[in-house]
Each structure stands twice: as C-alpha cells, then as structure tokens.
Chain A
Amino acid sequence: MKTSAAAKKKEAPSGSGPGGESWELRLYVAGQSPKSVAAFANLKKICEEHLAGKYSIEVIDLLKQPQLAAGDQIVAIPTLVRKLPEPLRRIVGDLRDTERALVGLNLRPSPTEV
C-alpha cells in the first residue's frame, strides 16, 4: 500500500465542502499493519466520496516518528484526527463502518439528530 508514500503527501484542498471549509485530517499509523492499511483505504474512500477536492490527509507513521505521538495524545492505532474544521475530533479504529465514520467526522448528522 501507499501509506508511506502518502505520509508526506498532502492533497491540496480545493473548492468548498459542506460549510465551505477545507478539511485537514491526520492519520496516525504504525508501519504497514493491516489495521493501518485498512484505515487509510477506508478514509481515502470516504474523503473521495464526500470531500472530494477539499481535504488533505497527513499520514504519520509512529514507528518512524515516535516523538509525534505525544502531541496529539495518541494511544490507539490507527487514530484519525480531524484538525480542521474545528472542533478537533478523533476516531480510532480502521473506519470499517462508513456511516459511523461520516457521523464521527460530522459529515452527516448523527442518527439521533435526524
């Protein structure tokens, strides 16, 4: 997979999503573990479907940069951190449940709010 390749890759935000902001996401992984690989794939898919053109994903491999774990208070792997738009949000896990991931990222109102 291309997590390591993607580590430095920032997809420039373009246009405006819901609310018009640009989305800055950070995914913490540990090497090429299956969960890390799955999380990146699921995230990429969600972003492409819902935030096409206005998101950036920064993948941080803690095996290579362990000192970065403390900054975002990373305990679990994989962890997705939504830096922007505010407020900061975290989702841990491989994001296999797309619906919940959308709710978690505030891309869709939670079922209780409907």
Chain B
Amino acid sequence: MMTNAAPAHLTDVRPGQQLPALHRRPTRVSVFLFGVAYWTSHRIHYDVDAAREEGFGDVVVTANLLSAYSVEMLTHWTGDTRCVLELEERNLAPALAGDALTMTGRVLDVSETDGVRRARCSLLIAKDDGTTVVSGHAVVRLPDSAPTARR
C-alpha cells in the first residue's frame, strides 16, 4: 500500500470549509459521449427535437454525468481518485447542453472511525443564472493528518 503525507490543505479540515469549485460547460457532444459509456438511449439526451418536444431548450445533461462532475470536484480537493465513499443527490432542475455549471461543496463534519478520517460535505451544482440543478451530500475519505495516509 502506498502511503503519502496529507496535503497541507487537508491536515486541518473543519466544518464550514468551502471546497474548491469546479466549472464545466457540457456540450451536446459531452452528453453524447457519456451516453455511449452509460448506454443512455433516452432521446432527451441526444435528440434536440425530442428534448424540445418534452419542454427542454436543448438536450438534457444526464444526471449521472452530473454525479461524475461532483466526484471530480471532490477528488480534486483530496487528490485521491478513490476518496468518494458515498454520493447522494437530488435533481432539482434540468441542466441542458451549453449550460455553464459550477460545482461547489462545503464540509459539514469530520469524523474518524478505525483510523480513517471522513468528511461529510454538502454539494450543489448551479447554473450561471443561479438555478440550482442538483443538491446533495457526499462522504469522502481523507488522508491521515499524520503523514501515513493511504492514497
């Protein structure tokens, strides 16, 4: 098992701490590429006419792609691509291809069980106009505050 020191910004994680925001603007191609990997055949994710017929202005960004953006934000913060233990999200408004999205998070609490530090964080994905697309929370594993953390 590889061990590494906790990065300086993770040695003293406290409730209320804001996570570094992540910005993404998924295009129609982004949604299509995710649809290939996810085998999404629902027309609202690739057929603009079908999406408009259902009342959307453009193709709808797949909810599970938004989840991947949340994971990306969390892993950028911890530096550990396997840090996410739980991710729970509610979809509040559709994100459409071309929307500028900002993923943000805030530490709610930090705990330690069996020598593993965990942070529970609130999550939001919002559009530039302030519309909340997703709200949720995640539990992530943190490196040890001592320099023996699992990466």
A and B bound? no
Query: What residues of chain B have their CB less than 8 Å away from a CB belonging to chain A?
Result: none
